[in-house]
Structure 1
Amino acid sequence: MKIGLGSCPSTCGELVQGYMGENECISSYCIDLYSNAKIVEKRNRKKSNRFNKTKSMKAVELVFDYFGIPKLELLDISLFIKSNIPVGKGMASSTADIGASVMAALDYLDKDLSEDEISKLVAKIEPTDSIFYKKICVFDPIKGKKIEELGALPYDEVLILEPYRRINTVKIRQKSDYYTNLIENKSFTTNSFNLLAEGIRNEDMKKVRRACENSALANEKIKTTPYLREIIKISKKYNAGFVNISHTGTVVGILVSDKTNKDGMIDEIRNSDISKIYKKQYIRKIVEGGLRKGWQNDGLHKKSDENRRKEF
């Protein structure tokens, strides 16, 4: 039986998001939570397809169309998706599902597309993310276009603060004042993107911290992040790298290194009112971005995942 497998990593929000000049842009980093997609050749067309994600199936259709494969052949496949990425938290769960499905389709067809081609394809479905690129970059989510490649972060782990609350990213973007606020924030976010680029390229993490925190604070006009200033203060107290948020979601990330007093920081957060909002606090590894052919088994089963992610 013919099979195609693909996977895509998650994000922990964004480093910076907003306008850079005349373009709406984002810049993200990836973590070791994954969406996995499998395309299986069916033996019987009468058997119903299990398309459990409409947008993901649309992505598969676009891949088939890109290579001139008749839509009738879509009746010969079933698409399955399995993910351990939290939904509605600003961790690119939808984008990861779509990306994994694209890679599964490419694997099934024994074809390849570049990062740029995949991004432009996915942008036809919904505003997308920079996670299809291996390196951190400045990215236009509307056009699906890489503006500038930046490099990598010198951190291996992130402490994720995750509340129960979910946010629909599409609905935030549809609010009448969303783009008005983005435009009002343009000078802050343009400066933040410039600081981020300088910081990553010159390994100046003070500039990266300023970029991420300035972008997060400017975003308070669009969506409030509870206890943001308190979290920033605690991160500095325990020598964490920096704080970043999901600009249209609910998670907060605190980048940590071997210089960070992780135990002290986690204890203070757990014993403060912050933990009343952010019920889950866990550490994840930072990984390279980009789509993968194959299946990421790590962490997809609940029991092993709970042990792996070090939830406190």
Structure 2
Amino acid sequence: MTLRQELTGTGTAFGTFGELLQGVLPEDGGDFLVTLPVARWSMATFRQDAGVGGIGVRPAHKKKALQLARMIAEEERRPVRGVLTVSSVIPEGKGLASSSADLVATARAMASTLRTPMPPCRIERLLARIEPTDGVLYPAIVAFHHRAVRLRAVLGTLPAMTVVGIDEGGAVDTVAYNRIPKSFSTAQSHEYARLLDRLSYAVPRHDLAEVGQVATRSALMNQPFRYKRSLDPMLEICRDVGGLGVAVGHSGTTLGILLDSRDPSCTRRAMEAAQACGERAGNVAVYRTLSFPGTPTPTSPHAETLLPA
């Protein structure tokens, strides 16, 4: 191992296509979401360099990642100097967990460089000091309390799905969005609890039809809070191509039609959906969801200890 390799560490984290479900449960601190991991990644590299004054970041606008790197260095109680480089193919401000992925990748890169443990519980504690966070630190579909930055449950894994997505444009500041008070009725919070129960049953059984129905219902319930002008056209396209349902970035600008990648007609359906989306909305991109073989389900209250970093 060369000196440069000894002083350099990397970390990665996946993004999500919005959420399968997001809302508030009828309990204190009930804000939650259910992740939909996709094959889009952030990668962070930290290279120690004694000739650098403190810790710097590239590109310069990745200020949250820089804040996290400095927090980890402070906890280590030893001199840490170097440059953090963050690269990502996840669009920012769209509801695709780009910021969460940057931060998780940064935590893992710092841990790799400094040879320090970085279990999920430590990442959660650190990220809670920075911003509301998606559950992308867990290799599974999870129910996650994003405001409190705390795992609720590991739901499991699903067969791969194809997502034909559109972007309505603009960008959303997740921190600012989460500061906006949202008034959920008692009936709504109980419906979110029922939807979470449905997902908790459907995911381990790989019931993609039920997953699509829950995602669609969550998208519709989110309209008063983050209106998507393209939701009705996307629902129509989904019906026309025989899709499973529509998932959205609840706090972002994306909407996507879910298709079962195992279906022999998936490629044809995806092409038809992409053409229709392009005609009605433009900004079409195709994503593939991630599967995680060996994910343990159901979980205990300390399920994070069952999952690798």
- The alignment's TM-score, normalised by the length of structure 2, stands at 0.82
Moved over 6 A (4+): 289-293
The one of 221, 232, 235 equivalent to 2:235 is 232
Residue type of the partner of 1:285? R
SS at match of 1:95: helix
**Percent identity over paired residues:** 22
Give distance in 2, aligned partners of 1:182 and 1:4: 47
1:218 offset after TM fit, Å? 0.5
SS at match of 2:211: helix
Residue 284 of structure 1 is matched in structure 2 by 287
Retained in 1: the 8 A contact 2:182–2:225?
Answer: no
Retained in 1: the 8 A contact 2:168–2:230?
Answer: no
Give distance in 1, aligned partners of 2:54 and 2:159: 49
Give distance in 1, aligned partners of 2:54 and 2:136: 34
Retained in 1: the 8 A contact 2:242–2:269?
Answer: no
SS at match of 1:139: strand
2:98 counterpart of 1:89: no
SS at match of 2:257: strand
Residue 16 of structure 1 is matched in structure 2 by 21
1:269 offset after TM fit, Å? 5.3
- Deviations 1:145-182 (Å, cap 9, x if unpaired)? 1111110112243222223322222222233xx32148
Residue 301 of structure 2 is matched in structure 1 by none
Moved more, 249-258 or 179-188: 179-188
The one of 246, 253, 256 equivalent to 1:253 is 256
- Deviations 1:15-61 (Å, cap 9, x if unpaired)? 10111232110111211211111111124135983452221122122
Change (3 A) 1:156 1:205: closer
- Deviations 1:88-118 (Å, cap 9, x if unpaired)? 1111111111111101100101122222331
Give distance in 2, aligned partners of 1:281 and 1:171: 27
Query: Structure 2: 5+ residue runs without aligned partners?
Result: 293-303
Moved more, 126-135 or 49-58: 49-58
Retained in 2: the 8 A contact 1:14–1:247?
Answer: yes
The one of 145, 160, 164 equivalent to 1:159 is 164
Give distance in 2, aligned partners of 1:115 and 1:263: 40
1:276 offset after TM fit, Å? 6.2
The one of 187, 196, 199 equivalent to 2:199 is 196
Correspondence 1:71-110 to 2 at 5 A: 73-74=79-80, 76-110=81-115
Residue 69 of structure 1 is matched in structure 2 by 77
Residue type of the partner of 2:52? R
2:148 counterpart of 1:149: no
Give distance in 2, aligned partners of 1:90 and 1:10: 9
Relative contact order: is structure 1 or structure 2 higher (C-alpha 8 Å, sep ≥ 6)? 1
Residue 36 of structure 1 is matched in structure 2 by 43
Residue 298 of structure 1 is matched in structure 2 by none
SS at match of 1:248: coil
- The alignment's TM-score, normalised by the length of structure 1, stands at 0.82
SS at match of 1:131: coil
Moved more, 5-14 or 257-266: 257-266
Residue type of the partner of 1:42? D
- Deviations 1:121-154 (Å, cap 9, x if unpaired)? 2122100011110111111112221111110112
Give distance in 2, aligned partners of 1:255 and 1:262: 12
Change (3 A) 1:48 1:167: closer
SS at match of 1:201: coil
RMSD over aligned Cα atoms: 2.6
Correspondence 1:264-275 to 2 at 5 A: 264=269, 266-267=271-272, 270-271=275-276, 274-275=277-278
Q: What is the aligned length? A: 285
Give distance in 2, aligned partners of 1:183 and 1:61: 42
Give distance in 1, aligned partners of 2:225 and 2:23: 11
Residue 69 of structure 2 is matched in structure 1 by 60
Change (3 A) 1:105 1:238: same
Query: Structure 1: 5+ residue runs without aligned partners?
Result: 294-312
Change (3 A) 1:32 1:203: closer
Residue type of the partner of 2:198? L
The one of 116, 124, 129 equivalent to 2:134 is 129
Change (3 A) 1:15 1:45: same
Correspondence 1:107-118 to 2 at 5 A: 107-118=112-123
